[in-house]
Amino acid sequence: MRLVLLGAPGGGKGTQAKKLIDKYGIPQISTGDILRAAVAAGTPLGKEAKSYMDKGELVPDSVVIGLVKERIAQDDCKKGYILDGFPRNTAQAEALDKVLVGMGAPLDTALLIDVDKDVLMKRLTGRRTCRNCQQMYNIYFSPPKKEGVCDKCGGELFQRDDDKEETIRRRLDVYDAQTSPLINYYKERRILNSVQGVGNIDEIFKNVCAILESKS
């Protein structure tokens, strides 16, 4: 299964991707996670990426496309993968198509997780992530049992640098201007599906799986 998850920041792409990994045993490729790891490690790539991420802007295509090309060529992607946060604009989508045609393994599905704008701000300002196991929480919707501590592994919970109101606003504008045109891009290629992303996380996941299973 070669899947792209589409949707606005805070729509629940990462949350659903983690559940898909457990169910289907295929890797999640999150360009955001790869970039944040590079920032944390202080690599030259991380230093370059940080200046864009802190402003809520997209990191240059040349950087991100190279990362994804390398990642999908790895052995664990042979059975499929979940692209989360990539592609982010038409240039990235076209570059991806070209690589996948070259590999003889085009995308199966682009799945839009559709959420109204008004809930996104609360989801993003409330998000907390475990430094150790990456489990996600939300202080408003799904808080940990003990504040600041991961229920699963006891790790420390942190707030992402770009989950500040001002940066979130810019990320949402960038989504509207640059990423939302991909909905039509994949509609025209007849691989777009969409799921309502508001409500119980497990219910949404059931709907996601029903769509994916109807395609296989």
Question: Which of 3, 20, 31, 192 lies at the binding interface for ligand AP5 (CB under 6 A)?
Answer: 31
Instruction: Please give, one letter per residue, the 3-state secondary structure of 29-61.
Output: EEHHHHHHHHHHHCCHHHHHHHHHHCCCCCCCH
What amino acid is encoded at 208 in this protein? Answer: V
* Least distance from ligand AP5 to the Cβ atom of residue 125, Å: 9
Q: Of 214, 91, 197, whose CA–CA distance to 141 is shortest?
A: 197
Q: Which is nearer to ligand AP5, 109 or 138 (CB)?
A: 138
Residue 190 falls in the annotated catalytic set: no
* Least distance from ligand AP5 to the Cβ atom of residue 203, Å: 8
Residue 215 falls in the annotated catalytic set: no
Task: Residue 215: count other Cβ atoms within 10 Å of its Cβ.
Answer: 12
Whole-angstrom distance, CA of residue 48 vs CA of residue 162 = 15
Annotated catalytic residue within 19, 160, 164, 170: 160
Question: Which of 24, 46, 48, 52 lies at the binding interface for ligand AP5 (CB under 6 A)?
Answer: 52
Question: What is the rounded (10 degree) CA torsion for 91, 10, 44, 92?
Answer: -10
Catalytic positions: 13, 88, 127, 160, 171
Q: Which residues bind ligand AP5 (CB under 6 A)?
A: 7, 9-15, 31-32, 35, 52-53, 56-59, 64, 85-86, 88, 92, 123-124, 126-127, 136-138, 141-142, 162, 171, 199, 201, 204
